[in-house]
Amino acid sequence: MIDTEIEEEINRQINEEMYSAYLYLSMSAHFESLGLKGFANWMYVQYQEEMDHAMKFYRYLHERGGKVRLYALKEPPHEWKSPLHAFEETLKHERHITERINFLVDLAERKKDRATFNMLQWYIDEQVEEEANDEEIIARLKLIGESAQGLLMLDSELGQRVYVPLVQEGK
């Protein structure tokens, strides 16, 4: 049976991951409305990945005998000043998620819950990747500046991103 405090915090993390998905779906819709289908695709793939992250926590909690509680999601923003602004907000959000994962790791260590600690290692690696992806796109958007041609080239490249579902052993 999982510790009740860890159970509560994982339920909060499920909400955080679901909000992340909701935020990226909103960003996808925003980019779609601007005709930036590549940016919309990139954010839609991000939405799908965040749903996977939420479900990984969901399944873990059930495996450990915990009870999943789904909380209301707050409404995400609907507009951003520019693609650069959207990705700066994405990076800020991912840094918040990294802080949450680090909090969960600290809690698992304090409670001596080695199973949860071990499971969270995947999320630590994932957050390094998430932040690096955002930082790379931000750097490229800064290089592009006001160039419409550069923006369209990046849009085309981001449109190539493909969703790859998490592999669940035996599930």
CATH fold of 4-158: Ferritin (1.20.1260)
Residue that the structure tokens 């493909």 belong to:
162
**Would you kindly state where each structural domain of the chain is located, as residue ranges?**
4-158
Burial of 68 (0-12, 13-18, 19+ CB in 10 A): middle
Q: Encode pLDDT of 111-141 as tens digits.
A: 999 999 999 999 999 999 999 999 999 999 9
> Residue 63 pLDDT more than 60?
yes
**Which pTM was predicted?**
0.94
Q: What angle do CA 39, 102, 127 make, to 5 degrees?
A: 25
